[in-house]
Amino acid sequence: MNHIFHVHTWRCKHASDEVDEQYIKTALSLGANGITFTDHSPFPEDIFNNRMELSQLPEYVESLKKLRSKYKSQIAVQIGLEVEFLPSMLDFYHQLKNDYDLDLLVIGQHFYEHTDGKFSFADEKEFNKLNEFSGCGTAMIQGIKTGLFSVVAHPDRIFRRCKEWTPEMTGMAENIIKTAAENKVIMECNLSSYEKYVTKTRSTYWRNEFWQLVEDFNLSSEVPVEVIYGVDAHSSEEMISRIKYADTLQYLSAMHNINALRKEALSKFPDGLTLDEINAEIDAYRKGL
């Protein structure tokens, strides 16, 4: 990975106590030419846990600015925040963009806001099982349309409580993908979610169904949605351990696209496509990877 995307810091209260510079040194040791910090955003009056406090935000930005200057000849350092989209906080998001000299805001929809102003993490467990993906998905779409956000982190995480994939989930996923493409917002393949998928038997944080829909959309759309791999690292060790999954996913994505091209070619020429002609289409695709 040339660019290490989605890195947290000690300020979020659930990361290692490593200093910011250690992440940059680790990224350099991995051969990266860019790193994007996206620590969990604070909110007014520090109303949510497991994130930096609002009073820490200026120091967070200043620390990374100093490191960006120190390492400018070696690596590009971007400064961002990962934040849930909550409609009542729209003015605050504008403030973040205008007052703190950030490079980007990233939607990380861990919960959502009800119309009465309450938050979904307080909902009953059974209610959340049925409604979390719809509530979080709707919030993500609203956030994308504001134009304030550059990336959606782990978009498939909203389906984590769903054991079986349903047509309703497909509809929500397709709406998210289409909206992101129309607004030129990037979708993040979250390597932390994928790590859970390959190491924990019952993990549903990563959904192959979602990413197959992304691949299908991009094969058929004139305006594809851009995808980025994110390490979601809360320690330099996680950064190191997760980058290998990017190569795996790139290979699987290529194979999915090649198989789709093969099916498309066969459908166009059902009465006489030779193996050489099929391979020529596949080779043409590979050259574009």
With a cut of 80, say whether residue 231 has pLDDT above it.
Answer: yes
Q: Is the dihedral of CA 171, 172, 177, 178 positive or negative?
A: positive
Q: How far apart are CA 248 and CA 208, in angstroms?
A: 13
- What are the φ and ψ backbone dihedral angles of 122, each rounded to 5 degrees? -95, 0
pLDDT(97) > 90: yes
* Mean pLDDT in residue range 112-130: 95
Q: What is the pLDDT of residue 258?
A: 57
Burial 208-227 (b: 16+ CB within 10 A, else e): eebbebbbebbeeeeeebeb
Yes or no: say if 269 and 30 are a contact pair by the CB < 8 Å rule.
no
Pairing of strands 227-233, 151-152: unpaired
Over residues 41-94, the pLDDT tens digits come to 999 999 999 999 999 999 999 999 999 999 999 999 999 999 999 999 999 999
Token duo for residue 160: 């984590």
10-to-19, 38, 51, 52, 68 alpha-carbon distances in Å: 7, 12, 9, 8, 18
pLDDT at 237 over 70: yes
DSSP annotation of 201 reads: T
How high does pLDDT run on average in the chain? 91
pLDDT tens per residue across span 134-168: 999 999 999 999 999 999 999 999 999 999 999 99
Rounded distance, CA 42 to CA 48, Å?
A: 8
Q: What is the mean pLDDT of residues 111-138?
A: 96
User: pTM score, two decimals?
Assistant: 0.88
State how far the Cα of 52 lies from the Cα of 142, in Å rounded to an integer: 24
Q: pLDDT at position 250, please? A: 83
**Neighbouring C-beta atoms of residue 129, cutoff 10 Å:** 13
| Structural domains in the chain, sorted by start | 3-242 (3.20.20.140)
Kind plus residue range of the DSSP H or E element containing 254:
helix 244-268
Average pLDDT over residues 86-108: 97
pLDDT classification of 251: cutoffs 50, 70, 90: confident
Q: Round to whole Å and give the CA distance between 18 and 194.
A: 24
Residues 6+ apart with CB under 8 A from 152: 106, 107, 109, 140, 143, 144, 176, 180, 185, 186, 187, 188
Give the pLDDT confidence score for residue 86 in this predicted structure: 98
Element (H, E) at 147: none
- Supply the pLDDT for residue 1: 84
DSSP-derived 3-state class of residue 66: helix
